[in-house]
Amino acid sequence: MDTPDDSYDEIMAQAGNDGKFQRRYNLLFNFGAICFASMSYMSIILALNKPPHNCFVPGMEQYNITDANLWKNLTLPRETDNRGQLGYSKCQMYNITEQHLQRHYSEWSFASSDIIDCAYGYEYDRTYYDRTPITEYDWICDKGFRETNIFIYNRLGELFGTVIFGHLGDTLGRRPVFYLSILIITVGRLVSMFTAAYYVVFCIAAVVGSLTAHSIFQAPLIIAMEISKSERRGHISMMQCIGWTTGLCILPMVFWATKDWFWALLIVTMPIVLFMFIPSYTIESPRWLATRGNYREAMVQFRKIATINGIRELAFDERVLEKRLANHRTDKVYGLASLFNGWRMAKNTMLVILCWTVCSVTYFTLVLLSSRMDGNPFLNFMYQGLIEVPAAFAGQRAADRFGRRATNAMALCCATAVCLVLVLIVRDPANEMAATVLTTFVKFCISITFFGVNLQSIEIYPTCLRQTGMAVGTIAATIFGIVGPYVVHLGTEYDVRYPFLVMGLSSAVGILAALFLPETLHQSLPNTIEEAQKFGKNQRFWSLPKAPQVTREADSNTDKRHDGSDAKPEESIRLTVPVEGEEAVGRK
């Protein structure tokens, strides 16, 4: 392990690791930018919402019928819906011939052989939507899989983009990847707005807009983590969660206000571009620059941070950085393969992948379900988004008090139990309110787990692989998350219990993965692959993390400053971090 003089954290503390710069950076990028990024990312879900619909059957006016339900009863067959309830067919009608029209409608009778597919188009419930691609181009019934397939293509785009931009974040840098992410998601959404009439082009644009769906969140979060003290990691992650949730709550209100997918998409997509033009705060991570041996640029970033933090002169320069951080340099990184370098890193990576998969499948299944449940789709979406605010606070408090491991495992236990209850009650319309409340509680639990897993993904990987490590979890989650839209399709078209059964079983598997990940609370971020290979080696399984002990002692010896000048004897702080299975290590 590094000696105290070689510690990046010590250098970062001299430039200010918890000052104005960090607070403003988090407010701008991990709250503001993420708020608009979440709206751009999730807007496609509300834009492709499928309103209630039936076949359009002309002739009401001919018989002076004003009651729409009476006309439906005459012209539409009945079928069982996904709750087992009898209702009007969505895609079929009775074949009304000239012989029927010559008689009064009270004399009409139809056999099963008279049922045909919709012959005159469709009627949509426009209570909440005036226009969507589905209502404009009839992506229902025989074209009903178009909506589901677009979600699948989006997931494939996320998969492809996460592989590319996750690796670029560790090779090209966090800042350029953030810029590229903003440009790509904006272009993808804008092109899709004008191409809904051309299904193939629309799909391609949707895929392009999803390429940077993960890197746009990862880049500012990792930069913030790498320029802040370890005690603030939970708070930083919570800030991003609140930014994400704020966007999720504003998004349905924009759609509800406009009732038009085109203008709603335009309103929620364009503001993210503004965050490319804040030069004082769009920095590159000096920690990453140091691992690449670019000490001159790292020094520039340190000075930016120090200036805003009110520190006029730093006690180190480029040459001092090179001398003190030489053993942090990593010239060769082999992308995803490096995450499996050694048994411990490979095990941690597999467990992270499993946790990400469980969280992602459950989370996005709930998001898709929220806008497709009975009632106001915008309020349902907002309620499930709003519950993430207390989840972020609860996740941060629990993760910083009991550790990431215990927090994740308990949240998944609760989600599993509630999903099993939902399987038993969700088909009964009388339990609609209870089902909505319990579904929202599952979202609360999964949001806590997402918070903890995201934090662990940052803390167990070395600086040279940090964004790649986060990416590999989302890659696997995206691969398995492809089944999510189909699970929702089964729930909305066949049996409403299926999604909750799948979510409950996957959450049960996630409990085991969460328990066997190493605890990262109160641990320093590893800088090199060698440090990451030892991470968690001596931790006991049944133990809660202990807070560092801070003691003060008089230093009677005259120290030498790093710039060569004499330093006066002064009181120093010794930080003792208890490590399970090892002697406590004193760090001055």
| Predicted pLDDT at 401 | 84
| Predicted pLDDT at 572 | 38
| CB burial readout 163-181, b (16+ within 10 A) else e | bebbbbbbeebbbebbebb
Find the domain containing 108 and state its range.
Answer: 53-124
Q: Is residue 354 part of a domain?
A: yes
In the numeric block, the tokens 């018989």 are attached to 63
In whole angstroms, what is the distance from residue 415 CA to residue 176 CA?
38
Q: Is residue 448 part of a domain?
A: yes
In whole angstroms, what is the distance from residue 278 CA to residue 304 CA?
13
CB atoms within 10 A of CB 196: 21
User: Which of 89, 124, 159 is at the close of a domain?
Assistant: 124
Q: Is residue 104 part of a domain?
A: yes
Question: pTM to 2 decimals?
Answer: 0.71
User: Which of 124, 155, 170 is at the close of a domain?
Assistant: 124
Q: Is residue 38 part of a domain?
A: no
User: Which of 81, 96, 124 is at the close of a domain?
Assistant: 124
What totals of helices (H) and strands (E) does the chain contain, helices first?
Answer: 24, 9
CATH of the domain at 507: 1.20.1250.20
Are 451 and 237 within 8 A, CB to CB? yes
Q: Map 294-339 to HEC letters.
A: CHHHHHHHHHHHHHHCCCCCCCCCHHHHHHHCHHHCCCCCCHHHHH
Q: Facing residues of 571 across strands? A: 554
Q: Is residue 267 part of a domain?
A: no
Are 260 and 418 within 8 A, CB to CB? no
The helix or strand, by DSSP H or E, that contains position 549, with its residue range, turns out to be: strand 549-554
| Predicted pLDDT at 552 | 41
Q: What is the pLDDT along the chain (588 residues), one digit of tens a residue?
A: 344 334 678 888 888 888 999 999 999 999 999 999 999 988 988 898 888 889 998 878 777 777 888 888 888 998 887 666 788 888 999 988 877 777 877 778 888 888 899 888 899 988 888 899 999 999 988 888 888 888 888 888 888 888 788 788 888 888 999 999 999 999 999 999 999 999 999 999 989 998 988 889 989 998 998 898 878 888 888 888 889 989 989 999 999 999 999 999 999 999 999 999 988 898 999 988 888 888 889 899 999 999 999 988 887 778 888 877 776 665 555 566 677 777 888 888 888 888 888 888 888 888 777 766 667 888 888 887 888 888 888 888 888 888 888 888 899 999 999 999 988 888 877 887 888 888 889 989 998 988 888 788 778 888 777 777 777 777 777 777 777 677 777 777 777 788 888 888 888 988 888 888 888 787 777 777 777 777 767 776 666 666 665 444 434 343 444 444 444 433 333 444 444 433 333 333
Q: How many domains are contained in the chain? A: 2
> Could you give the angle at which helices 377-386 and 388-401 cross, rounded to 10 degrees?
20
Are 233 and 22 within 8 A, CB to CB? no
Q: Map 46-105 to HEC letters.
A: HHCCCCCEEECCCCCHHHCCCCHHHHHHHHCCEEECCCCCEEECCCEEECCCHHHHCCCH
Say which DSSP state 122 is in: E
Chain centroid to CA 480 = 15
Q: Is residue 398 part of a domain?
A: yes
Helix segments in 338-482, DSSP class H? 343-370, 377-386, 388-401, 404-425, 432-459, 466-481
| Predicted pLDDT at 333 | 57
Are 493 and 371 within 8 A, CB to CB? no
Q: Is residue 30 part of a domain?
A: no
| Predicted pLDDT at 237 | 83
